[in-house]
Chain A
Amino acid sequence: MRFGVIVFPGSNCDRDVVYVTQDILKQPTRKVWHQETDLADIDVVVVPGGFSYGDYLRCGAIARFSPIMRSVLDHAQAGKPVLGICNGFQILTEVGLLPGALVRNRDLHFICDRVPLRVEAQGRFWTSAYGGQTQIKLPIAHGEGRYHADADTLAQLEDQGRVLFRYCSPSGAVDESGNPNGSLNNIAGICNEAGNVLGMMPHPERAADAQLGSTDGLGLFEGLLQGQLAAV
């Protein structure tokens, strides 16, 4: 399976993703400069974390107009997987592939931490490799990661089982004490209606190598591989 990792001016988690898909998972991977327009050779698009265009105006607002985003839209509309991590999640909401927006954290702090998450919506291929395991821990690093959407959108996300990751307390309770940034419904990651586009604020690529202290994030990429192989 070929991975394409989009690189904007200001992306800084691109190489971390490439390390996971190419060096750990042994999948062919190429970095795709944002001014390219051809994704025909790519199976999975990853929009990585960072500060595209310095986060000027709003996170992701300018990146969405990069030439490659037209191709990312086509890729997503063809039903192929698109994963947006952190700034990538912000870009996917700005471009309209995912609903809602990511706004300033509740307590104004930039948060760099490792937080417990509930893995929800077990029927999705993204989370299938977790095999019913409901709690994992992933790093977060963001100043504007509070998920916001109007009441109708939130209800739709919940009714359709599109919330894939939720912040929780160490005991697994989904409540305010386990909500680091004030996200509505403790939302940390959501997918689109078809299920092939996932956006999440936590960084699975930073928890995929045991030498970094955790491999809780590797399951996400493994689920992606298994899901794709099953679909072929």
Chain B
Amino acid sequence: MSQTYQAQIYVTLRPSVLDPAGTAVQSGLQQLGFTGVAGVRIGKYVELTVTAADEADATQQVDQMCDRLLANPTIENYRFEVQVLTEGVAA
């Protein structure tokens, strides 16, 4: 029996990599008056559904997807959540 899972994946630049887009947005927020804002970093959000034998299998597959394509380990970190997609509630 296989099951469909939804994965929510967050890819962010490693802390050591300069994020000019984040810096620009931070300055925009400060100009709006949010003077307390600091440390804006911009990343990517990927959502996908995957069919797998069980949650461990789904987690392993998503981890490999992140490692091989969705993130570049040289410059990026990633984290993700996997949950069962109930039938009829497909994205």
Interchain CB contact under 8 A, B74 and A65: no
Q: Does B20 contact A (CB under 8 A)?
A: yes
- Nearest neighbor of A104 in chain B, beta-carbon distance: B20
Q: Is the CB of A101 within 8 A of B74?
A: yes
Residues of chain B in range 1-42 having any CB-CB distance to chain A below 8 Å? 13, 16-21, 24
- A107 CB–B CB distance under 8 Å: yes
Pair A182/B16 contact, Cβ less than 8 Å? no
Indicate if A157 sits at the interface (CB-CB under 8 A): no
Contact with B along A90-108 (1 / 0, CB 8 A): 0001100001110111111
User: Which of A101, A103, A182 has most B Cβ within 10 Å?
Assistant: A103
- Chain A residues near B17 (CB-CB < 8 A): 103, 148
- Do A61 and B69 touch (CB < 8 A)? yes
Evaluate contact between B69 and A149: CB separation under 8 angstroms.
no
**Secondary structure type dominating chain A contacts:** loop
In the complex, chain B residues whose CB is within 8 Å of the CB of A104 = 19-21
Number of interface residues of A (CB under 8 A): 21
B69 touching A106 by the CB < 8 A rule? Answer: no
Interface residues of B in 38-91 (CB under 8 A from A): 44, 69-70, 72, 74-75
Name the residue of chain B whose CB is nearest to the CB of A105.
B20
Q: Are B69 and A57 in contact (CB under 8 A)?
A: yes
Q: B72 is contacted by which of A58, A106, A146, A182 (Cβ under 8 Å)?
A: A58
Contact of A107 among B20, B70, B72 (CB under 8 A): B20
Are A148 and B75 in contact, CB atoms less than 8 angstroms apart? yes
Complex Cα–Cα for A57 and B72 (A): 10
Closest to A106 in B: B20
On whether the beta carbons of A106 and B74 are closer than 8 Å, the reply is no
Distance in Å from the Cβ of B50 to the closest Cβ of chain A? 17
Q: Across the interface, do B72 and A150 meet the contact criterion of CB distance under 8 Å?
A: no
Contacts of A108 in B (CB 8 A): 20-21, 24
The smallest C-beta distance from A111 to any residue of chain B, in angstroms, reads 13
Which of these, A57, A100, A107, A146, contacts B74 with CB under 8 Å? Answer: A100
Q: Nearest chain A CB to B14's CB is how many angstroms away?
A: 9
- In the complex, which residues of chain B have a beta carbon less than 8 angstroms from the beta carbon of A94? 72
| 28 intermolecular pairs with C-beta atoms under 8 Å apart | A57-B44, A57-B70, A58-B72, A61-B72, A62-B69, A99-B74, A100-B74, A101-B72, A101-B74, A103-B13, A103-B17, A103-B18, A103-B75, A104-B19, A104-B21, A105-B20, A107-B20, A108-B20, A108-B21, A146-B18, A148-B17, A148-B18, A148-B74, A148-B75, A150-B16, A150-B74, A182-B18, A182-B20
